[in-house]
Amino acid sequence: MLGNKALAGLLVAVLALAGCGQPATPGSGSEAAATLNVVATTTLISDVVQQVGGDRVAVATLIPTGADAHSFDPTPQDIARVADADLLFINGAGYEEFLSAMLANVGGEVQVVDLSEGVALRELAAGEGHEHEEHAEGEEHAEGEEHAEGEEHAGLDPHTWTDPNNVKYWVEAIARSLSAADAANATSYEANAATYTQQLTELDTWIDEQVAQIPAENRRLVTDHAVFGYFADRYGFEQIGSVIPGFSSAAQPSAQELAELQDQIADLSIGTIFVGDVVNPTVSQRLADDSGASVVTVLTESVSDEAPTYIEYMRYNVERFVTALK
């Protein structure tokens, strides 16, 4: 039979073991933070969502690094991932051409956050690309015919992220959506958003300083497709033409369009064609060879190993513009 002291010791040990078996109390400081399960369509959006959400948000990306959003085809696994998500963050403005069909296959209600809402969308300006609306091969819209769902922004530029001031709208929408879905951590999301917005302001100032090195007459951009319109408007560039007609890299240039662009390059003494990392550079390289211009690779649709965040993505491109044009 156990003595009183031995019995007391045994009870202490049992109680201690019982305490170790209890689940951790939220907010105790040692356990992993609870997360929202969210999906973003692009790596650029994923990074900004992560900056605002921090470790309280788990972010999955649909379109992988280096892929072209204009030709992306979601897999069944992508559809399942979206179906399980608390929130789906999209660029909007007609950028995700696959979105309508994908959402129809998801089933149920998916809370979609369109990050282009609130951004002043720009239209393709004269000289930036080929001034016709892009349709699938062989497809034409009869006069007065309405566009199908998802085509309502066909004449608007969806590449809003090339101006960091537009990304500030993204940050506001992301913080608002995360806070609504996870009110207990709203203060954290708002604080992260404020910090990141300040970083975007600093980025904007840095870009102004870098661009000042380029003579005004050299601030002309010829690109593979019309992706840098918002950047051009903000920092005093002219997006004078694109190898691929319009905003979508999925379109194809005609021989006449390429000849017209080659004449434009010659008339303006353009020395550089900027080509995105997600498209085949063959046509751009041939045009450059015929024009005596050089080809410089830039980032367009996604982050990269060299520039794994949105801010680094912008810095990467600005450094290439400055080096080529100053």
Is the confidence at residue 171, as pLDDT, over 60?
yes
Residue 126 has a pLDDT of: 62
Residue 249 has a pLDDT of: 61
User: Sign of the CA dihedral 250, 133, 79, 115?
Assistant: positive
Task: Determine the Cα–Cα distance for residues 188 and 176; give it in Å rounded to an integer.
Answer: 12
Task: Determine the Cα–Cα distance for residues 258 and 255; give it in Å rounded to an integer.
Answer: 5
- Longest Cα pair distance anywhere in the chain, in angstroms? 105
Cβ atoms 122, 156 nearer than 8 A? yes
pTM exceeding 0.75: yes
214-325, what's its fold?
Answer: Rossmann fold (3.40.50)
* CATH 3.40.50.1980 segments of the chain: 36-129+151-202, 214-325
Residue 255 has a pLDDT of: 84
Highest mean pLDDT: which of 54-58, 126-130, 240-244?
Answer: 54-58
Task: Determine the Cα–Cα distance for residues 30 and 317; give it in Å rounded to an integer.
Answer: 41
Least confident of 199-208, 268-277, 310-319: 268-277
Is the confidence at residue 154, as pLDDT, over 80?
no
Residue 69: band (very low, low, confident or very high) from pLDDT cuts 50, 70, 90: confident
Residue 18 has a pLDDT of: 38
DSSP state of 125: P
Least confident of 2-16, 62-76, 304-318: 2-16
What is the CA 268 to chain-centroid distance, rounded?
32
User: Which CATH code of 3.40.50.12780, 3.30.70.330, 1.10.260.40, 3.40.50.1980 fits the domain covering 36-129+151-202?
Assistant: 3.40.50.1980
Least confident of 123-132, 169-178, 240-249, 315-324: 123-132
User: In percent, how much of the chain has pLDDT > 70?
Assistant: 78
Residue 15: burial class (beta carbons within 10 Å; 0-12, 13-18, 19+): exposed
Residue 146 has a pLDDT of: 39
DSSP secondary structure, 196-234, as one string: HHHHHHHHHHHHHHHHTTS-GGG-EEEESSS--HHHHHH
Residue 138 has a pLDDT of: 38
Stretch 257-278: mean pLDDT: 90
Cβ atoms 319, 275 nearer than 8 A? no
Q: What is the dihedral of CA 228, 230, 233, 238, to 10 degrees?
A: 20
Stretch 233-246: mean pLDDT: 88
